[in-house]
Amino acid sequence: MLLTWALFTAEIAQPAQVDRLRSALDAVRPRAGSVHAEYDDPLNGRELLGYCFESGAWYRTHGGRLYGQDPRGRGYWGFLSPEGPVRVGELESGADSILDEYFPTLFVIRALEIPGAAVRAEQDEHGWVVEFALPRGRRNRTLGELPPPEIERWGGMDQLVRTVTVTLDHRFHVTNRLGPVNPVEDGAVQPESAPCSRPGFQVVSRTPDPGADTRLVRCEFLGTESREAFWDRAVSRSVDFVVKNPERTPVPVAASAGEEPPVPIRTRSSGVSAQDLRVWLLAGGGALALAGLVVYYRRRG
């Protein structure tokens, strides 16, 4: 009951040590520039990821799909392929949690921003231990964003709230994470920091999934990259990757009955260049997002 109540309390009710941890992490974590990374999974292909420290913009491209949020807060998700559109609209507040297994410190940074989520923090000679109380042990949605039927399905608030305990070293890199997290349920995860990691922001050398062998192949911190340049680079990398790796693009699910099928976005091989797609993504999002409609790119000719 106490953990459930903690999720509804204001930040001033959190332990003083939590405030100290937040301040210490804020003092060292990157505030400008960005990070771009590339991971390879022998079974499922490569993934591109990035995070902008200044704006909180981010992206993840995998299997022909782009997920992300631009510096203006607009969300993007869907296919960058000949078979379907990228959609533009609102994302959940914790949608960037899909980066957590690659950038573990991001989980800590963002979870500390959730009012009442951090219920305990302790510091010792090795670093910090912080305990979070989160819905199902995840930060992708707050309790306020969960529909009542889902809360009921999980047995109510007391059953829904789970504890995640994170151990941080002196660089604020996660050395152990215990709790219900994918892909290890109710187990401990020990992320391995890649050499490119920075104080206050960790990049893993491989993901913790025991059923995969996803490893870092490229990592780049750009200390002076602007928020606009970050998103331009995110789209350029993603589009170029899909154009050059068409065999990695899956076939999307067909439209539902009565729903007009989407008009495909074409890649260079079918008449539209990567530059066309970049311009469409970067410049076309504004008016389409306001309309709240699916983005269509009409066939030429």
In which element (H, E) is residue 110 found? helix 104-111
Q: Which two tokens stand for residue 101?
A: 């297994």
Distance CA 62, CA 155 (A): 34
The CA distances from residue 104 to 99, 123, 257, 278, in Å, are 8, 19, 41, 30
Query: What's the rounded mean pLDDT across residues 33-57?
Result: 93
Asked if residue 263 belongs to a domain, the reply is no
Q: Is the pLDDT of residue 188 over 90?
A: no
Rounded to whole angstroms, the Cα distance separating 16 from 79 reads: 45
Q: What pLDDT shows up at residue 36?
A: 97
Residues in the chain: 301
- Could you give the CA distance from residue 88 to residue 74 in angstroms, rounded to a whole number? 7
CB 162 within 8 A of CB 133: yes
Residue 92: inside a domain: yes
Domain assignment present for residue 124? The answer is yes
Q: Is the peptide bond before 115 cis (omega within 30 degrees of 0)?
A: no
Percent of the chain with pLDDT over 70: 68
Q: What is the pLDDT of residue 140?
A: 75
Report the C-alpha gap between 78 and 46 in whole angstroms. Answer: 17
More confident residue, 230 or 178: 230
Q: Is 29 domain-assigned?
A: yes
**Chain mean position to CA 235:** 16
Query: Residue 150 and residue 196: Cα distance in Å, rounded?
Result: 40
143 pLDDT tier (thresholds 50, 70, 90): low
Q: Which residue has the higher pLDDT, 3 or 29?
A: 29
Per-residue pLDDT, 246: 61
Domain that holds residue 195: 2-45+88-227
Is the pLDDT at 75 greater than 80? The verdict is: yes
* Residue 198 included in any domain: yes
pLDDT (mean) for 257-271: 39
pLDDT above 90 for 215: yes
Q: Comparing 73 with 274, which gets the higher pLDDT?
A: 73
Phi/psi for 37 (5° steps) reads -140, 155
Q: Is residue 267 part of a domain?
A: no
SS3 181: strand
Report the largest interatomic distance among the alpha carbons of the chain, rounded to a whole angstrom.
Answer: 68
The answer to whether residue 115 sits within a structural domain is: yes
Mean pLDDT (whole number) for 269-282:
42
Q: How many domains does the chain have?
A: 1
Q: What is the distance between the alpha carbons of residues 263 and 286, in angstroms, rounded to a whole number?
A: 20
Quick check: is 233 in a domain? no
Confidence of residue 292 (pLDDT cuts 50, 70, 90): very low
The reported pLDDT for the residue numbered 299 is 39
